[in-house]
Each structure stands twice: as C-alpha cells, then as structure tokens.
Structure 1
Amino acid sequence: MNTVAGATGTVRASSLRLLVVEDDPADVALIENAIAAQNLPTDLHVVSDGEEAMAFLHRRGVHADAPRPDLIMLDLNMPRVDGREVLTAVKADNQLKPIPVVVFTTSTVDVDVLASYSAHANAYVTKPLDLHTFERVVSDIHRFYSTIASLPPGLPDRE
C-alpha cells in the first residue's frame, strides 16, 4: 500500500478499492454520486447480489481479474445469496476475513445488528432516508477507511 505520513498518522496515497454489494440500483447511484460529489479517490466495483460478490471475491468467471477490495459495503437483503451469508462466508475465509466489511442496510432490526456483529462485521450502518445525510454517511465511511483507519497490510493485489 502506498502511504504518506500525515499529522494524524498514515494517509493513503492511492484510491480506496471499494466493493459495493447492493441490489438496489437507486442506492448504487446514491453511493456513486456521494463518492463523485466529494471527489473521493475510489476504485469502485459494484455487484448486485451475494452470489456475484462471492464470485468477485474468489475471482471466478467474469471476475477472474477482480482486484482484492480494501473495503466491502454490504447490503443485507438481496436475492439469491443475501448479505448475511456473504458476511459469514467472508469472515470464515482466511484470505478474505481481514477485509473490513461495513453492513450498509435499511434494516434497523436489533437481531440484524447483533447477528452482523456476531458474524464479525466491522460496522453496521443503517441507510439514511434523507439524500443529504445518505451522501454524508457514505463520505464518512469512505474517509474513515481511506484516511483514518489502518487497513490490513499484505492483502493480495495491494502494493
């Protein structure tokens, strides 16, 4: 990982490799707009369900050349393979489990929050209904993982 020393610690000099796992095209557009509006350096990849997410992460099929993401933003309620199953599979895989996973969902149900943290989600964020707040939250998540948090060193594909 290319980094530079900053006043508050280590700052990334490269784009955040972000995998968004989201089946709602409107939410994908909101995430893309938030990243663009804030001019956040991002290598953005989007998949529409959990099955495609696992293909991306394991570099299968059309995702054979997929980069290893620095961060996964994961919706819970999706067709085929839902976010709960993806989270469990990612955190059970020694190659994938160091990747931070932010559950980003509409669910406010306590059982979903508890289950996500029990499955080792790094954060659980409920999608705001207000457009401005939605964009701010996406920006805050991005900034936290790209400038404040130290990401796991030595992930494949990160130099």
Structure 2
Amino acid sequence: MRRASRSQATLDIILVEDDDADAKAVHRALEKSQVAKPAARLTDGVEALAYLRGETGTPPSHYVLLVDLNMPRMNGLELLAEIRRDSRLHGAVAFLLTTSADFGDIAAAYEQNVAGYIVKENAGTGFADLVGTLDHYRRLVELPRIEVRH
C-alpha cells in the first residue's frame, strides 16, 4: 500500500469571510508567516460552494477551509452542512473562525465535523496564534485530496 506523501510545504487556505478587515488581517498573517497561502477568499457560503464545486474557478486539490460563521445568503454552518452532503466535498477540512463563543454554535459546528472552532478574539494579535496552529497542523496532518470533476 502506498503511503500518502507529506502535505505540501505551505497550506492552501480557502477563506470564507464576509468582513473585509478580518479577511485582510488573516491574509496578511498568512503571507507574513509563509506557513500557508490564501488560495481564494469568498464572501459567503453560496460563493464558496460554487468555487469548491469548480463552477467559478478551480480550487486546489489539497486545502483547508477557514469559514466565518455569520455571513449573508448562506452562513458558515449552512455551508458546512452542504459540504458534508456533497459526495465530492464531504472530506474537506474546515475550521470555523468566528466571533461567537455560543455553546450552541460550537456544538452545531462540531456536528458538521469541523477540525476546530476558533473564536477570533482567541486567534492572537493579528491572527498570530491561528497561523501558529495552522503551522503545526500542516506539519502533522495529511490532507485528503479533493478532486473537482466536471
């Protein structure tokens, strides 16, 4: 049996975030660290699903999703539910990144098999702790390959 190769040197991050300031801060932190690179930034779940399904672009074959909870049109939990129902996308690795520390939101996120629930205020100054977590994650975890077939 062939062993999966170690994930690439940097992570491809697909950021689903409607707040421009937060998106810019995450983008800056990722670029500065060289741990991960932003592959795409989408502003809501509808836009993200279209991208992930290859309808509006070509997502990388290995990626980690950083998904905001509260977004217009389709929120983060609704997006995750759609991803988990999609036979091509259901294995996608996703972290929820949000301002909500509500126990109900946390439970609902883990019901959608998130890799982690990160409250933005706990992500560190300039999202430094988030980047550190992603650095550890990329060095230890093999990501699933997600192919978009047309």
Question: What are the ranges of 5 or more consecutive residues in structure 1 without an aligned counterpart?
Answer: 4-9
Local SS of the residue matching 2:121: coil
The amino acid that maps onto 1:119 is Q
Question: What are the ranges of 5 or more consecutive residues in structure 2 without an aligned counterpart?
Answer: none
**Paired position in structure 1 for 2:121:** 128
CA contact (8 A) 1:34 1:139 kept: yes
**Paired position in structure 1 for 2:146:** 155
The CA deviation at 1:135 is: 2.1
What is the Cα-based RMSD across aligned positions, in Å?
2.1
**Paired position in structure 2 for 1:144:** 136
What is the number of residues matched between the two proteins?
Answer: 145
Structure 1's 97 and 145: CA in aligned 2 closer, same or farther, altered over 3 A? farther
The CA deviation at 1:69 is: 4.8
Separation in structure 2 between the aligned mates of residue 118 and residue 41 of structure 1, nearest angstrom? 26
TM-score between both structures, scaled by the size of structure 1: 0.81
- What percentage of residue pairs aligned between the two structures are identical? 26
Matches within 5 A, 1:1-159: 3=5, 10=6, 12-60=7-55, 63-128=56-121, 132=125, 134-152=126-144, 154-156=145-147
The CA deviation at 1:15 is: 3.2
**Paired position in structure 2 for 1:7:** none
TM-score between both structures, scaled by the size of structure 2: 0.85
The amino acid that maps onto 2:17 is E
Local SS of the residue matching 2:54: coil
